[in-house]
Amino acid sequence: MELVLFNLANGLIVGAFYVLMALGLSLIINLSNVVNFAHGNFLAIGGYLAFTLTPYIGFWGALLVSPLLTAVFGYFIEQVLIRHVYARNHIYSLLLTFGLGFILQDVCRFIWGPSPLPLGIPDILSLPITEELFFITWYRVFMVAVVIVAVSGLFAFLRFTRVGMRIRAGTLDLDTVSALGVNVAALRSYNFAVGSFLAGLAGVLAAGQIGLNPNMGDDLIMPSFIAIIVGGVGSLTGTLLGGLLIGVAAALTTVFYPAGAEAVIYVIMAIVLLIRPRGLLGEEGMLT
């Protein structure tokens, strides 16, 4: 039972990561039709920036500042590279972000070195929450709390701010939004920055748990794709659900059949595609 509980908790945490990554990806796909292959590298950059900043402003400061810097970096990348391919065949945006991922990974390796680095977290967070639940440190609870805050913040941003509402409207019908006088190019840039912010935040959190290495994002990007496919393209709530679902499913599979932990998320995807091709909460006809 304890093992199941442990893995359930673990699954929620892993799922929370997938959610952060996948929500950022999903935002960008919805509004710009770009699958950002380099999203995992944005995550790594967020983590490494936190590593560099921690000695000066501490972990808490880095937790705030590093995602913001990642967002600025994402904004810059969108301006310089990605916006040039919006009007072209999708294959170009895939290739572009694919190549960008290679570049960023080598840049991280060049600046911070190829060997893994630890990110120091405050002592209070590394303690277990109780004697019996020794396997759950405060850091894990903290991660989940941060993810909850970030996701709620994102949904509030999309619902209550002007830019957020425009992003949601643009997801449904970009032409009309543009015809109503909204600067769509700028909107896409802001949106990309928001997606990058989430990746950066995931990077800081991941760095505190598993440390840093130049390809730390690679293992997270594929589950994020699957979270989006399972949840349904076009639906952020779907992505949220998909991320948690595959995180928990993978963790629970570990209890009974450890070798199948990675396979199970693909099985879930295949089942969803078979019986509900548009994804759990995807709308009929969206982006298909």
Compute the least distance from the CB of residue 101 to another protein, in Å: 7
Q: What is the DSSP letter of 140?
A: H
| Shortest CB 148 distance to another protein, Å | 27
Cα separation of 246 and 266, whole Å?
A: 9
Residue 140 or 188: the one with the smaller Cβ distance to another protein is 188
Is the Cβ of residue 29 or residue 244 nearer to another protein in the bound state? 29
Cβ atoms within 10 Å of 185's Cβ, excluding its own: 12
Measured distance CA(164)–CA(186) in Å, rounded:
13
- Residue among 45 and 233 whose Cβ is closer to another protein: 233
- Minimal distance in Å, beta carbon 37 to another protein? 8
Q: Where are the alpha helices (DSSP H) in the chain?
A: 2-32, 39-80, 90-112, 123-126, 138-160, 162-172, 174-179, 184-210, 218-231, 236-256, 261-275
Closest separation between CB of residue 191 and another protein, Å? 15
CB of 284 to another protein, least distance (A): 11
User: Which residues face 137 on adjacent strands?
Assistant: 128
Please give the residue ranges that form the binding site for another protein (CB under 8 A).
29, 33-35, 81, 84-85, 88-92, 94-96, 98-107, 109-110, 222, 225-226, 228-229, 233, 259, 262-263, 266, 269-270, 273-274, 277, 287-288
3-state secondary structure of 281: coil
What is the DSSP code string of 199-265?
A: HHHHHHHHHHHH-B-TTTTHHHHHHHHHHHHHH-TT-HHHHHHHHHHHHHHHHHHHHH-GGGHHHHH
Of 65 and 94, which has the nearer Cβ to another protein?
A: 94
Nearer to another protein, 98 or 134 (CB): 98
Q: Report the residue number, 110 or 134, with the smaller CB distance to another protein.
A: 110
Smallest separation (angstroms) from another protein to the CB of 62? 26
CA distances from 151 to 156, 197, 252 (A): 8, 12, 24
Q: Say how far apart CA 113 and CA 111 lie, in whole Å.
A: 6
The residue (of 58 and 99) whose beta carbon lies closer to another protein is 99
3 state DSSP class of 117: strand
* Diameter of the chain measured on Cα atoms: 61
* Nearest distance from C-beta of residue 274 to another protein, angstroms: 6
- Cβ closest to another protein, residue 68 vs residue 280: 280
Distance CA(58)–CA(68), nearest Å, equals 15
For the bound state, the minimum distance from the C-beta of residue 54 to another protein, rounded and expressed in Å, comes to 27
